[in-house]
Every structure is written in structure tokens, then in C-alpha cells.
Structure 1
């Protein structure tokens, strides 16, 4: 039986491999870029919708403040009702500011776990040393069978 001519040999396949790997990497890069652009567009549309909702919430809160002033104006003079509501809003804003400052101080932006892992990696890499011995044969740097390697 004769070997088929349309099948590639091992050496031919090995010579094609680097180009195929590069082509695959380019295709995957293009796919990732396309996916990121698609998701970014959707996120932008979602952010726009949230911004529009916040716009309406702002006016709703304004209407609630006016309603609170009008409700208190039934009992007190309108200027006193407006002053009381303004003071209450000032207290709420101050509480939110203090809570925000406390949360900012608590949140440490330094990635401590990552720094610990990188430090451990550097320590492990510093333990790897090149063997100080010169090679036995003048032409090779590779260890022979049964010999200790150049790295320890």
C-alpha cells in the first residue's frame, strides 16, 4: 500500500505550526476586540439610561421637598416650614458626607494580597541560581545524562 500524497508529513506539519499559532492568536485578538466593543456599547447605552433615570429622580426629590414644605406650612408659617426642611436636608447631607469620608478612609487602594504574591514570586526567583561550575565539555552548556543540571 502506498502513502497518500494529500497527507502532510511530520516535518511539513511542524513547519506550518508557528504560522498557524500566529494566525490563531490574531483571530482570537480580533474576536476579543470585537466582543469588548460590543459589550462597551451595551454598557454605554445602560449608563445613558441610568443617567436619564437619575435626572427624573432629581426632579422627583425636588417635588417631595416641596410637598414636605407644603405639608409643614399647614401647621407653621411657610418660611419656617421651608427652613425646617432645609435644615433636615443639611443634616442628611452632612451624615452622607461623614459616612463617605469614613468609607474612603477604610478602603485601602493598595492591593496587599497581590503585593504579597509578587514578593513571594520574587523570593522564589531569587533562590534560583546559575551553577557556578564550568561545563566539563568545552562545546556544550546542556547537562549530560546522569549529571546535575546548570540550574539548582
Structure 2
């Protein structure tokens, strides 16, 4: 490669902050899009659950009345209603515990964006100074070469 064929080190270093900012903005937009898509899907699912619960409320009322009437054949009506009521409380407690567990597991985290950011940070950590076979590891004068001087510059 001849001198001047590509951008020099100083020019590349001058571009670095703008490139990092562009990368951060792009990852922010990706995270926003990913979270928006996940929240939208969760909202549609929540709406479907609300509609189902509306119909389930009336179905359960009919089943509760049938259970009380069926037990009233053997027990007094008040005892039948009490047993069915306690059974419903136990079912509600189990449903609440299951719902809390599902909500904790379903927090919308932009996993793909986090993975890409980790890859970017690893790439920055792996960056090494460009050392060719002909360049000395340290300049003889103990200082960094300046533009136009021989050394580890393009």
C-alpha cells in the first residue's frame, strides 16, 4: 500500500467519535423498535385475554350455580355455597400466582440489541494498534511519531 492511498491515522481517529455516536443511535433505534414490537404483541394478547375473561365470567357463574344446586341435594344450600366459594378462592389464588410468574418472565427486554451491543464492545476491546513487521515497537526518541515522519502511521 502506498502512502496516501487511504485515510491516515489522524483522519481515522477524527472519525471515531462520530462513528461511535452513529452506532449508539442505531442501537437505540433498534432497541426502541424491538421493544415496541414486543409490547404491541403483548397488548394484543392482553386484549384477547380480556375478551375471554368477559365470557368466562358468565360461564363460571352458571357453573357455580350448578355446583351449588348439585351439592344442595346432599347438603344444606348454605353449606353447598360455602364449599363452592372456598373452592373458587383457592382457584383464584392459584391463578394469581401463575399470572405473577408469567408477568415476571415476560418483561420485554431487547435481547437482540443487547447481544449486538455486547459484540460491539467486544470488538472495541479487541482493537489493537496497527503494528507492521517493519515498524519499531517504540520510537528511538521515546515519543510518538508525528505526521509525515516514519513510524506506525500511514
Structure exhibiting the larger radius of gyration computed from Cα positions: 1
TM-score norm. by structure 2 comes to 0.49
**Greater relative contact order (CA < 8 Å, ≥ 6 in sequence):** 2
